[in-house]
A and B are shown apart, each in its own frame.
Chain A
């Protein structure tokens, strides 16, 4: 700061220096503040008098019959069908590879040598899987933005109200993409692009042209639903849709989740999930 002032002193004519008075600085500051306020004001109108999704939510799913004797001996597999929704309408040329991949994973489970998932590597689920809300999910609705935080892996997505997502060719790929939202009556309509092509939901392949279209609707004070529709002109013959519902989890404070030290790891040769027995922390 001092260097800048000194440089200005040397090179600026006296009459200019005099004109930069305290009043001018104050006026400039006011202009900047007004501009920022105007921008915030424009965005702020977007969520006014609209349903509020704010709160902590759990997934709300029809009950399934618990059984420890399901696919791969995995008790958690019982939660599968309830969340599976319709089958993806893959183009014919991709069906065989997709089925083969599912079989490879199922066979590995049957052998007791499960193939590692991205979560084993401490990578988050990304979109749309984070909306499964495998752990509690917080929604913070501010005037121009809806922010969704999933406790698992501290996944965060930001939906900018009143904005369109960028064109696909300009959308930098990420785990959560770029989301723009607008209100259709009392339904929040969200479009998302820019999901990394290696971030898969249900192992369904997708291209950089995948779009996630969501219609978020408050059902009552303690429930809301997200109707999700995936389109991808490269991989899908049509739209792939399902609905996830959420119920309020009262009196809950979100917990920290830093994926810190997974003693499960991917075998460097087979890719199978293994266990590290050595306790490195204590050494």
Chain B
């Protein structure tokens, strides 16, 4: 009886352990848990600063959430991957400039603060780039 109960519980224990390990390994490098990937937003606005640095590239964007009822402009910080990942998916260090009008799809911070993790960026010339595989895909358009 004891043995059979153990056997029945084993798969559940394995699942829990596996989930914990998955979370742990991801965290080992970087956690994206600050961001709400399931409620992505679309921002349109003007670049006030483009920071091309490790461990992250940042875009400061004076932008409006186009799907929000309030068409209120806010100072957003858009976190991107690092220069290496972005180079490998086709970005260039100087492709975003202060004053550029951008459209970005991003996962907003769960805290409600005006920060977001980039999923997809559309440049003024219409070119579209993603944020590399680790950041995950855009789920809206």
**B-side interface residues, number (CB < 8 Å):** 50
| Binary contact readout A64-92 vs B (1 if CB under 8 angstroms, 0 otherwise) | 00001111111111111101100100000
Per the bound structure, the CA–CA distance linking A249 and B74 in Å amounts to 42
**Cβ-closest chain B residue relative to A87:** B17
From residue B74, how far is it (CB to closest CB) to chain A in Å?
10
CB neighbours (8 Å) of A84 from chain B are 18, 21-22, 25
Q: Check A129 for interface membership: any CB of B closer than 8 A.
A: yes
Instruction: Identify which of residues 11-32 in chain B touch chain A, using a CB-to-CB cut-off of 8 Å.
Output: 17-32
| Residue from A81, A114, A120, A261 within 8 A of B51 (CB atoms) | A261
CB neighbours (8 Å) of A255 from chain B are 83-84, 87
Q: Check A47 for interface membership: any CB of B closer than 8 A.
A: no
Contact (Cβ within 8 A) A277 B28: no
Instruction: Identify which of residues 86-105 in chain A touch chain B, using a CB-to-CB cut-off of 8 Å.
Output: 87, 99, 102-103, 105
Interface range for A = 35 or more
Contact (Cβ within 8 A) B113 A275: yes
Pick 11 A–B contacts, CB within 8 A, sort by A: A69-B38, A71-B22, A71-B26, A73-B38, A75-B137, A84-B25, A106-B20, A122-B55, A152-B84, A260-B54, A279-B51
* Contact surface of A with B, Cβ cutoff 8 Å: 68-81, 83-84, 87, 99, 102-103, 105-106, 108-115, 117, 119-120, 122, 125, 129, 132, 134-136, 151-152, 201-203, 255, 257-264, 273, 275, 277, 279, 281-282
* Contact surface of B with A, Cβ cutoff 8 Å: 17-38, 48-49, 51, 53-56, 58, 60, 75, 77, 79, 82-85, 87, 109-111, 113-115, 134-137, 139
